[in-house]
Structure 1
Amino acid sequence: MSETEARALRNEIKKYVDAADERMLRIVFSMLEADAEKDWWDDLPEEVKASIDEGIKDIEEGRFITHEEFMKRHNR
């Protein structure tokens, strides 16, 4: 969509919003809120998701150390 088309669409939407009753405003607002709450997980690259899943599996299988143990091992 070009910038000109986007601007025209925004203007049309504004006309509808300005004329909408309270019920319709609440419906539109709910749709906008739901879209804004999109799960960030969906935007992650597949290799990042796989790495996170691998880390979770490691934790579930006991392959981890605590922060305190890490600090002791590395003299911090």
Structure 2
Amino acid sequence: MNLEARKYQFIQELVKVEDESILEKLELVLKANQNDWFDKLSESEKNEIQIGLDQAEKGEFISHEDVMKRFSKWH
């Protein structure tokens, strides 16, 4: 079953719910899902992450394997 079909099936089941406590719990789940960890970061943190992503896209990074080789004496 694809995502759209699952959503439609969920909506059909949601319409049948008569217990308000169940609806409240579902609302909490949906609200919690909308709060992304990225949204809680400061602007400077978001900018630093974007810089890192831009560098990675340009190939300006060191692989994990190379870092582990370089620092193996401490590992």
Interval containing the TM-score (normalised by the shorter chain): 0.5 to 0.7
Question: What is the TM-score of this pair, normalised by structure 1?
Answer: 0.59
Q: Which of these residues, 25, 31, 35, is aligned with residue 27 of structure 2?
A: 31
What is the correspondence of 1:1-76 to structure 2 with a 5 Å cutoff? 21-22=18-19, 24-37=20-33, 38-74=35-71, 76=73
Per-residue CA distance 1:26-72 (angstroms, 9 max, x = gap): 32111111222211111110100010011011111100011221233
Q: How far apart, CA to CA, are the structure 2 residues paired with 1:71 and 1:25? A: 51
Tell me the matched-pair count: 55
Structure 2 gap ranges (5+): 1-17
Say which SS state the counterpart of residue 62 (structure 2) adopts: coil
Question: What is the TM-score of this pair, normalised by structure 2?
Answer: 0.59
**Farther off after superposition, 50-59 or 25-34:** 25-34
Structure 1 equivalent of residue 10 of structure 2: none
Cα displacement (A) at 1:74? 4.5
